């Protein structure tokens, strides 16, 4: 900027009544496109009087904010006991901060329409109709004009129910037939949860614990089934029993041995089989055998019993062979004998 040639221009009057003696300058800088959020743009100016050194103004800082704000409607109870109920929402913004909110509402699954527009409040009383359901979501706007992305799903839902004090009922459930254990932890048990019935909410399914598909321990387990309707009325809990049994005997692995006979009775060390149980794991095996065996094949019965008195059987086969030929003792030659009637030497 060139100095003015107007002798009256550029002069400031005495600052008798502030700010008549103060000067200011206004300028605009357009930032580059696609700058990331958080980028800082710093500006300052210099003011020169005549030929004096320039006076540098304080630095002015602008921070780029391209991020959209976020917001949500706080969860609501499943039901409301009155037609008027409180709706609350909140939001956040990494840059300039949230300026205001627009809260939308849908009735009985219909289209979402604004409940409040560009409000700085974070809660309000909504008035609905008895028997209807309402869904809400919010959209925020920050202080530089960024708007939250559009939403398609509700963030909070509720229903206005008045005068429902009758709890639902739960169908009885028969005990589950005994289930065989599949391991030391018991067995996975499945069942169909009983149905529930409510005059307002209709038919539903009870929530049971332990849930179907859970692994239940050996022995007796009681399953508890409960139900609560939309008005908060709790049904009388129902129960049924599950028994996980261990009736499977251990598995005994058969063994065998073969050896040559050393006499009419041959002493043999019986090869004891191994045994394993689904619940108890490896088990000790006992065989009932005599200490010696005749030539031929003998089946020895071997057993293993688990902690629930299930006995498994196996066989240890002992085979005694006779492939050794007999031996003949040596015999001396027979002395010569005389003929009948002969008295002298031959």
Write the CATH number for 255.
2.60.40
Q: Is residue 331 part of a domain?
A: no
Q: Looking at the structure, tell me whether residues 178 and 227 fall in a common domain.
A: yes
- Domain span at residue 205 reads 169-245
Q: Of 222, 245, 268, which marks where a domain is finished?
A: 245
Q: Of 190, 212, 245, which marks where a domain is finished?
A: 245
Q: Looking at the structure, tell me whether residues 44 and 101 fall in a common domain.
A: no
Q: Looking at the structure, tell me whether residues 263 and 316 fall in a common domain.
A: yes
Q: Is residue 329 part of a domain?
A: no
Predicted local confidence at residue 35, as pLDDT = 86
Whether the model clears a pTM of 0.75, i.e. scores above it, the answer is no
Distant-in-sequence contacts of 295-301, Cβ < 8 A, 24+ apart: 295/261, 295/266, 295/320, 295/321, 295/322, 296/320, 300/270
Q: What angle do CA 96, 100, 103 make, to 5 degrees?
A: 140
Task: Look up the CATH number of the domain holding residue 90.
Answer: 2.60.40.10
Q: Is residue 344 part of a domain?
A: no
Q: Rounded to whole angstroms, how far apart are CA atoms 23 and 160? A: 63
> Splitting the chain (346 residues) into consecutive groups of 10 residues, what average pLDDT does each group show?
65 79 75 85 81 86 90 94 94 94 97 97 95 96 95 95 85 96 96 93 94 96 94 92 97 96 93 95 93 94 96 96 92 81 58
Q: Is residue 343 part of a domain?
A: no
Q: Is residue 310 part of a domain?
A: yes
Predicted local confidence at residue 200, as pLDDT = 81
Q: Is residue 335 part of a domain?
A: no
Q: Of 31, 64, 97, which marks where a domain is finished?
A: 64
pLDDT digits (tens, 9 = 90+) for 210-229: 999 999 999 999 999 999 98
Provide the Cα torsion 9, 11, 17, 20; round to 10°.
50
Q: Looking at the structure, tell me whether residues 186 and 217 fall in a common domain.
A: yes
pLDDT digits (tens, 9 = 90+) for 264-282: 999 999 999 999 999 999 9
Q: Total domain count for the chain? A: 4
Q: Is residue 337 part of a domain?
A: no
């Amino acid at each position: 900027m060139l100095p003015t040639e107007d002798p009256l221009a550029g002069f400031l009057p005495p600052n008798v009544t502030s700010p008549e003696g103060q000067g200011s300058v206004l300028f605009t800088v357009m930032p580059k496109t696609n700058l990331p959020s958080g980028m800082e743009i710093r500006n300052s100016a210099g003011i020169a009087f005549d030929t004096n050194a320039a006076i540098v103004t304080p630095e002015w800082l602008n921070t780029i904010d391209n991020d959209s704000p976020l917001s949500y409607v706080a969860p609501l109870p499943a039901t409301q006991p009155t037609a008027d109920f409180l709706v609350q929402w909140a939001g956040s913004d990494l840059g300039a901060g949230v300026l205001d909110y627009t809260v939308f509402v849908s009735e009985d699954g219909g289209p979402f329409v604004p409940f409040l527009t560009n409000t700085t409040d974070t809660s309000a009383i909504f008035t609905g109709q008895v028997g209807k359901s309402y869904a809400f979501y919010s959209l925020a706007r920050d202080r530089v004009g960024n708007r939250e992305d559009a939403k398609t799903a509700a963030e909070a839902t509720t229903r206005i129910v008045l005068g429902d004090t009758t709890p639902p009922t739960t169908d009885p459930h028969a005990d589950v037939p005994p289930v065989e254990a599949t391991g030391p932890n018991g067995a996975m048990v499945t069942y169909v949860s009983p149905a529930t019935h409510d005059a307002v909410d209709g038919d539903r399914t009870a929530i049971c614990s332990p849930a179907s598909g859970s692994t239940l321990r050996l022995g007796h387990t009681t399953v508890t089934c409960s139900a609560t309707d939309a008005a908060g009325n709790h049904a009388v809990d129902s129960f049924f029993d599950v028994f996980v049994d261990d009736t499977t005997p251990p598995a005994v692995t058969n063994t065998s041995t073969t050896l040559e006979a050393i006499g009419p009775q041959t002493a043999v060390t019986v090869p004891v089989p191994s045994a394993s149980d689904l619940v108890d794991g490896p088990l000790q095996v006992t065989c009932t055998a005599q200490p010696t065996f005749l030539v031929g094949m003998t089946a020895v019965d071997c057993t293993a019993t688990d902690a629930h008195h299930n006995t498994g059987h196996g066989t240890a086969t002992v085979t005694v062979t006779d492939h050794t030929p007999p031996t003949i003792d040596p015999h001396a030659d027979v002395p010569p004998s005389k003929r009948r009637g002969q008295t002298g030497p031959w």
